[in-house]
Every structure is written in structure tokens, then in C-alpha cells.
Structure 1
């Protein structure tokens, strides 16, 4: 059986060092690609792993077999690990606001 992989060239490999926004965009593009290509869950897992950076592939390899072999579980874990912010929006806002106030105070006091 011949399987054409026309969609995989349309997306760069995943890089966990990219910004959260870029990682989320990559994930959305990957999911869209799987739908357009009509991949089975097994094919999604295979293609997903081939597009991972070495560090992300190591992360994937350390997951339990039940997660690695089930697309729904794997997708959920990937989303949790690489596409979610570690701080809440309100925490981020107040941290940035406090940092801005410190910079302002230092500038004014000079």
C-alpha cells in the first residue's frame, strides 16, 4: 500500500523552545493537517512523533504506554505540557504590573 505524505512538508517540526503562542499555533496547524489528511489515530501518533524535537520526543517516550498509544490521551498530555501557560492570566498581569511599577520607580528616582 502506498501512503503519500503530502501534508507533512507543510509544517515545520515542533520546537518546545518557541513562545507559547507559536507552540499553540503549531498545535492548531498539526490538528488541522490531521483532519484534512484524514489520518487514522495510529497515523496521527506516527506523524506526530516524527515532527517532534529530540527533547519533545524524549518527553513522549517517558509517557506510559497507555498514553503513547492512544491519540486522545497523547494529544491531551501534549496540550497540557506544551500549550498551556504555567501561570494564570491574572498572575501574569499583576507580575508584569509590579515589574513595570518597579521600573518606573527606579527611573523616577534615577
Structure 2
């Protein structure tokens, strides 16, 4: 016997969904079952928009990390300029320095 994960607290059969689909669009996902197996999920517009925003934010972060690929020479230059900036810094400038 094969088991299938249902990633929602509520479920509905495809035939029940066909009768009145609008009642199932809400703020929680609802599993749509076909022959007692998950065939898909129904979600409301607000939840879908939030999911798309989260996916977009994640993709933007991934794209940014992917673009920042300095070479060894560039990293050495960043280190050298940072060391020089620290060496030339005045004590009052260093008071603003905080660790992450």
C-alpha cells in the first residue's frame, strides 16, 4: 500500500470541489484528493501572493549572492584597503564600530 503526504490540515475530493470551488479559497491550503491521493492544493489569493513574495525575496537574495564573486586578487585588495582604513581611522570613528 502506497502512502502520500498531505501537506494541509483540510482536504476535499475533486468532485466536491467541482460543486462549489469558491468556498475552498481561503487563508489555509486545502488538499484536493483524487481516489484518496493528493492531486493538488487549493489556496486563496492572499496566501498565493504571500508565497510569491517570499519566493521572490529568496530568489533576489540568491541572485545577489551569486553576483558577488570577487577573485582572490579583489579580496586581497578589499583586505588591504580595510586595513589601511582602520590604520588611518581616528579614535572617535572607531567608537562607532560594532561587531556583527
Whether TM-score is above 0.5 comes out as no
Which structure shows the higher strand fraction? 2
Task: Please say which structure displays the higher CA radius of gyration.
Answer: 2
Would you tell me which structure has more helix in proportion to its own residues? 1
The two structures have a TM-score, normalised by structure 2, of: 0.30
Higher relative contact order (CA 8 A, sep 6+): 1
**TM-score, structure 1 length as denominator?**
0.28
